[in-house]
Amino acid sequence: MLRRKRPLKPIPTWKGPKPKLPMEVTRWFRVHYLDLKEYLAKVYRMKDYDVLRSIGVTSGLFPEYFISGEMPDSPNLNQQVDDIRRGRRSKNLSLILNMLCQDGFIPAGKYVIDTRPPVDPYVEYMKLLEKLQDPDHPDCVAFKKANTDGAFTSKAGHLDKHFRNLLEG
């Protein structure tokens, strides 16, 4: 067992205002990877672009990119940019995001890519129904109108019917 020979310093106590940590509030953008996939298909015709594979991460991580829209002038880079604009895929997501910024599609700033799997609307609706206890509540009705997928609509209808039966009997 080690013994200290020096006396312990007292824990500081603050009388009056506490010191302020200099910090800056920054603006950042969170983008879900599936939305980015769809967007790249629209803008640069990159159909079925695998965002997770291109950035080399697994689901659940949040890679960050600082995007300015500025790119160095390089013949190799210029060729990659032209290829991407023609629909060729690239694993360089930072380059693609900078191109989107340079081409005026997205603003400059910090981008966080949300790689979590999408939430099932049925699970969300079950939570909402459990909280509100009324399938005819305006929030439940609005949620069902916003999620028009046939599978969800069918499952939500069965859940509403079951819930009403429970309330009646």
pLDDT per residue as tens digits for the range 158-169? 888 888 888 786
Tell me whether residue 6 is in a domain.
no
Judge whether 73 lies within some domain: yes
- Provide the residue type at 164 as one letter: R
Whether residue 103 sits in one domain with residue 143: no
In a domain, 3, yes or no: no
User: Based on the structure, what is the number of domains in the chain?
Assistant: 2
Condensed to tens digits (0 to 9), the pLDDT of residues 64-115 reads 999 998 888 888 888 999 998 888 888 899 999 999 999 999 999 999 999 9
Do 136 and 164 share a domain, yes or no?
yes
Task: Report pLDDT for 111.
Answer: 95
Range of the domain at 76: 28-114
Phi, psi of 109 (to 5 degrees): 150, -170
Question: In this structure, are 72 and 136 located in the same domain?
Answer: no
pLDDT of residue 4: 65
Sequence-distant (6+) residues with CB within 8 A of 68 are: 98, 101, 108
Q: Is residue 16 part of a domain?
A: no
Q: pTM higher than 0.75, yes or no?
A: no
The proportion of the chain whose per-residue pLDDT surpasses 70, expressed as a percent, equals: 97
Based on the fold, state whether residues 35 and 105 are members of the same structural domain.
Answer: yes
The per-residue pLDDT for 17 is 85
According to DSSP, residue 123 is labeled: H
pLDDT band for position 2 (cuts 50, 70, 90): low
Do 33 and 107 lie in a common domain? yes
Same domain, 33 and 102: yes
Instruction: Encode burial over 10-49: b for 16+ CB neighbours within 10 A, e otherwise.
Output: eeeeeeeeeeeeeeeeeeeeebebeebbebbeebbebeeb
Residues 128 and 100 placed together within one structural domain of the fold: no
pLDDT at 63 over 70: yes
pLDDT per residue over 36-60, tens digit each? 999 999 999 988 889 999 888 888 8
Q: How far apart, in whole angstroms, are the C-alpha atoms of residue 32 and residue 67?
A: 16
Indicate whether 132 belongs to any domain. Answer: yes
